[in-house]
């Protein structure tokens, strides 16, 4: 019926009764603190106490307020381990120190930085110190409890800030990823367009080259035709010139014959 190992010294677990004292203790810390202060003021009023005070019962109530018992279910029943009100000896302190150091090593707690394991072990150790102080002086125990509560609020605040920072970082990372994806997509589109333009330029250059070659061929063919036509005309001119000379020579000979 015992629960998990802890540095906090507890009494033997007993079955919880329906009218247990813990049912009367509010869960809210401020309400619990207010109730305890009213109870403490009532006991510390000068003059005869309005109610009979049992030191053990008073210590029990104070301890249940500062360090409420741990409840757990076993064998279908609800059990409760109340915080012990037995004072601690020097040997107990030495044993606690050894157990604490061994737990740090056994659970591989980090010595530096954020470590939930180390924090859990120190919280257990602090609870035991509060228990020991409360037995000797309830007011000191209450002050330590308030210090513990303030520390827990500070941790919660840090966690809230950390979670907000992480959430902000995630949002910025998502935004950056979306922007990067958009830029990558635009870059890919630009590369695709660039490739298409290069292909178009190559096609235009090939077309221009083909047209240039075709024009050169046409010009060369025209020049060749003109040369051939010129040669043909020159040849005809020579033939006509020869024929004309022959005709003139015949006319001259005929004229000479007529004169004779």
Q: Has residue 145 got a pLDDT over 90? A: no
- Mean pLDDT: which of 81-85, 144-148, 168-172 is highest? 168-172
User: What pLDDT is attached to residue 79?
Assistant: 86
- pLDDT classification of 35: cutoffs 50, 70, 90: low
Tens digits of residue pLDDT in 188-232: 999 999 999 999 999 999 999 999 999 999 999 999 999 999 999
pLDDT digits (tens, 9 = 90+) for 229-258: 999 999 999 999 888 888 888 888 888 877
Domain limits of the chain?
Answer: 14-136
Measured at the CA of 16, the angle between CA 78 and CA 125, to 5 degrees, comes to: 85
Query: What is the average pLDDT value for the chain, to the nearest integer?
Result: 83
Q: Compute CA 135 distance to the chain's CA centroid, rounded to the nearest angstrom.
A: 47
User: Average pLDDT in the 89-93 region?
Assistant: 90
- CA distances for 17 relative to 71, 72, 79, angstroms: 12, 13, 9
Q: Which carries the bigger pLDDT value, residue 260 or residue 184?
A: 184
Which residues have a Cβ under 8 Å from the Cβ of 124 and sit 6 or more positions away?
6, 7, 8
Q: Which of 18-22, 68-72, 129-133 has the lowest mean pLDDT?
A: 18-22
43 confidence band (pLDDT: 50, 70, 90): low
For residue range 101-124, list pLDDT tens digits in order.
999 999 998 988 888 899 999 999
The 10 Å Cβ neighbour count of residue 118 is 18
Residue 67 CA to residue 78 CA, distance in Å, equals 18
The pLDDT-based confidence of 21 (bands split at 50, 70, 90) is: very low
Top pLDDT among 30 and 77 is at 77
| Comparison of pLDDT for 156 and 57, the residue scoring more | 156
Residue 44 clears pLDDT 60, i.e. is over it: no
């Amino acid at each position: 019926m015992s629960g998990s190992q802890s540095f906090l010294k507890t009494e033997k677990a007993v079955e919880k009764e329906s009218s247990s004292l813990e049912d009367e203790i509010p869960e809210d810390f401020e309400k619990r603190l207010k109730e305890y202060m009213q109870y403490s003021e009532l006991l510390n009023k000068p003059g005869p106490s309005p109610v009979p005070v049992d030191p053990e019962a008073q210590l029990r109530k104070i301890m249940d307020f500062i360090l409420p018992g741990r409840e757990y279910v076993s064998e279908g029943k609800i059990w409760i381990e109340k915080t012990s009100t037995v004072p601690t000896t020097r040997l107990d302190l030495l044993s606690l120190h050894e157990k604490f150091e061994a737990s740090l090593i056994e659970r591989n707690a980090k010595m530096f930085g954020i470590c939930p394991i180390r924090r859990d072990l120190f919280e257990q150790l602090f609870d035991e110190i509060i228990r020991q102080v409360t037995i000797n002086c309830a007011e000191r125990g209450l002050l330590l409890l308030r210090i513990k509560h303030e520390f827990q609020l500070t941790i919660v605040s840090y966690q809230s800030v950390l979670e907000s920072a992480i959430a902000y970082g995630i949002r910025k990372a998502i935004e950056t990823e979306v922007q990067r994806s958009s830029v990558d997509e635009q870059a890919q589109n630009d590369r695709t367009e660039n490739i298409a333009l290069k292909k178009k330029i190559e096609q235009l250059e090939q077309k221009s080259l083909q047209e240039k070659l075709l024009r050169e061929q046409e010009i060369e063919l025209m020049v060749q035709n003109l040369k051939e036509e010129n040669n043909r005309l020159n040849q005809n001119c020579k033939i006509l010139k020869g024929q004309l000379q022959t005709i003139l020579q015949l006319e001259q000979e005929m004229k000479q014959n007529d004169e004779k």
